[in-house]
Amino acid sequence: MSIFAALHTYHEDAGHSAAMNMAIDEALLESAAVPSIRFYRWASPALSFGYFGRFGEVASYAHERDLVRRWTGGGTVFHGDDLTYSIVIPSGDPAFGESSTSIYEKIHRAVVDALAANGECAELAPIVRIADSGIASSDRGYDCFANPVRADVMLDGRKIAGAAQRRTRAGLLHQGSIQGIYLRNGLADRFVKELSSSCNIRNLSDAVSDRAQKIAAQKYGTEAWLRRR
């Protein structure tokens, strides 16, 4: 059964800075009236780390990657060759009323089903935990893909998909990454179809883009945000 009755889909071919990618996600969270999924690229190799992470634990990568602190929790994620996506669930949607754990599992079950359509026998990790709170997957500076938690996607004993969440009054933001497998085989489209049978392709509005520019300049692109811990 689909998670969402309707889903707006954004495919961005142009890469953005790490700060801008985080800002667009937040701008969508502020404004979305319908659940949405956004697939995005990076202007250069990047590294994102969770809200509770310590800058000192990733600072050594600054000379080779575009660093950004996420608003969601979770560990360190390397970006560039991955399929990066975000899902926004507005507070008015029925799915928002489910627990963060349930949403996390259902989204990753959709990833598993999308992979199965291509003959990949992935499964959900049965271990550890996802905190059902405003910020899921508290950060301890770990490499996210070396440390699977409950309901992450596993293939041949390797974690290939993980995510982190933040819940606000406006809605829930789920930021995810799929990596370590061949991605140029229609996986994104199959994933979308598993999430909803009614998908509409959209382009980011000027209002969202303008708002994201401001958020990036005032928050994600600042040294104060990057080094806050």
Alpha-carbon separation of residue 58 from 47, 48, 190 (angstroms): 8, 9, 34
Question: Please, where are the H alpha helices in 63-147?
Answer: 100-116
144 is catalytic: yes
Q: For the chain, first and last CA: distance in Å?
A: 41
Of the residues 67, 110, 122, 144, only one is catalytic, namely 144
Whether the Cβ atoms of residue 150 and residue 125 lie closer than 8 Å to each other: yes
Rounded Cα–Cα distance for residues 34 and 36 (Å): 6
**Tokens, residue 138:** 């508290």
The length of the chain, given as a count of residues: 229
CA distance 207 to 219: 18
Name the maximum alpha-carbon separation found in the chain.
46
Q: Report CA dihedral (114, 126, 160, 98) to the nearest 10 degrees.
A: 60
Residues with catalytic roles: 144
